[in-house]
Amino acid sequence: MTGTRPDWVHPAFRLVEGEEVFGWAEIAALPVPAGGVVHADRPSLVLAALAAAEAEGRGVLLARGTADPDGWRPGQGFTVTLESSGTTGTPKRLCHDFARLRGRLRGVADEGARWLLTYDPGAFAGLQVMLTAVAAGALLVTVPGPGAGTIAALAQAARRHAVTHVSGTPSFWRAFLMALGDTELPLAAVTLGGEAADQPLLDRLAERFPDARLRHIYASTEAGALFAVADSRAGFPADWLDEAPDGLDLRIAGGVLEVRSPRAAPGAVDPDGWLSTGDLVERQGDRVLFAGRLDGLVNVGGVKVSPEAVERRLLAVDGVADAAVLAVASPITGHLLTATIVPVPGAEEAALRAALRAATADLPPAARPRALTFADHIPLSAAGKKSRKGPR
Amino acid sequence: MIDSIFALIAEELGRIAADKGEVLPPLTADSRFLDGDLPIDSLDLATLLVVLEQRTGQDPFREGFRQFTTVGELAALYTVPA
């Protein structure tokens, strides 16, 4: 640790982490683990590790405890490797050039701003919020704990520090509105990202925080942050298919949104520069609206989960004759996985429930099926398939 | 008539808490769902709403979100069938 302040850190930046308050001097003095692997559970440590990696001209891995970091090597030059919160199979690691990671952040000083961190500090979105607050010389309010802390703790911290800038998933916002109750917050900026923002939620936010700038961000893993929509309406203007902002090109092919972006990771695009986002869209009048994922993944509280993969696990449990995992719409978390189980004759329900729970216990909570129902058969769609999405 | 919905909410919340190895404190109409009063998170609350729909046949959120913060406010969104 050299002790000098990196040029991406504004001198006025301060960090609240639970009961502790850090200036840059305190952050820079934190001991950083050797080898470039840092467990990304504390924002202070993540920032210290970034500065140390930059000073030493090597990579840093922000580990989230989902994979064994032993095989990882920091390499030459300052890069930041993030782990996806993968719900199926091995979590993906994506190595980012630090300059590109900061590419879309506007380095505008805003020392009066008080940001609330609602994302995991090791996640792409969490890092974006942290780096924005760091560059602005703002106060960054964070709650230690798994993820970014519980909704109750975040609401309490938001009240206590009178936060002005909050960025979170639609599922975060639905829960946050409930936890806040009637509390007044001096919000200047309300940002949504990570899953499609629905019109009822945008309407509630506009009504609840009439003075705040309301924006929803669209990003994809391969293409990075793509665009922000600021007109308080769900989806994006259909005009953008002809002329998109920020140097982007957008088109719909086979119902799927494709993008051509100057910020896309090389390698992920076709020879003409187009990249499929995997997001299904529908054009409705002057608007293009999001309509789920091509790969069948559903968003549960900001986490992409695979009903099929969960179903395969349940089908492998002793005593299960058939199982269907269904994504039902939820006013709280966007979607929720539920399961219908057909037990083999003579199976004992309590023991089977315990076995089913054990079969999904290692998945992130959002990917575990809730509300397990026992039935004597699984209803099939007209095409003879298990229907994957609930009514609505 | 909200009493029986309240009892249903208490029963299902107790089950959800027990599944996590938590014990639900005594529930009142003023208990707040996500404000630290109860040992539940937003996934648990989403689960509660799905189970309430399964057991009552009603989905008060079908036409859009309705604000509620407390157990009593949620119970008032359901009507008890005759």
Of A168, A203, A228, the residue that ends a domain is A168
Nearest to A365 among B35, B43, B51 (CB): B43
Q: Is B36 on the interface with A (CB under 8 A)?
A: yes
pLDDT band at A104 (very low <50, low <70, confident <90, very high): low
Domain count for chain A, please give it: 2
- Kindly list the structural domains of chain B, giving each domain's residue range(s) and its CATH number in brackets, ordered by start: 2-75 (1.10.1200)
Q: Is this model's pTM higher than 0.95 or not? A: no
Q: Give the residue from chain A lying closest to B33, CA to CA.
A: A179
Check which CATH number belongs to the domain holding A46 and give it: 3.40.50.12780
- B51-58 long-range CB contacts below 8 Å, 24 or more apart? B51/A371, B51/B12, B52/B8, B52/B9, B52/B12, B52/B78, B54/A371, B54/A373, B55/B8, B55/B12, B56/B5, B56/B8, B56/B81, B57/B81
Question: In chain B, positions 5-24, which contact chain A (CB-CB < 8 Å)?
Answer: 19
> B49 vs A179: CB contact, 8 Å cut-off?
no
ipTM confidence score? 0.90
For B13-37, the pLDDT digits (tens) are 999 998 888 889 999 999 999 887 8
For A340-381, the pLDDT digits (tens) are 999 988 889 999 999 999 999 988 899 999 989 998 887 765
Query: Does residue A279 lie within any of the structural domains?
Result: no
Of A168, A190, A215, the residue that ends a domain is A168
pLDDT (mean) for A205-230: 88
Of A153, A168, A183, the residue that ends a domain is A168
Sort out which chain A residues have CB atoms less than 8 A from B20's CB and list them: none
Nearest to B47 among A177, A336, A357 (CB): A336
- Tell me what percent of chain A is helix, strand and coil, each rounded to the nearest 5: 25, 30, 45
For A14-23, A65-74, A234-243, B56-65, which range has the lowest pLDDT when averaged over its residues?
Answer: A65-74
Domain boundaries, position A318? 298-374
pLDDT at A125: 87
Question: Residue A107 pLDDT more than 80?
Answer: no
The CA-based angle A304-A308-A312, given to 5 degrees, is: 125
Tell me the pLDDT of chain A averaged across its residues: 87
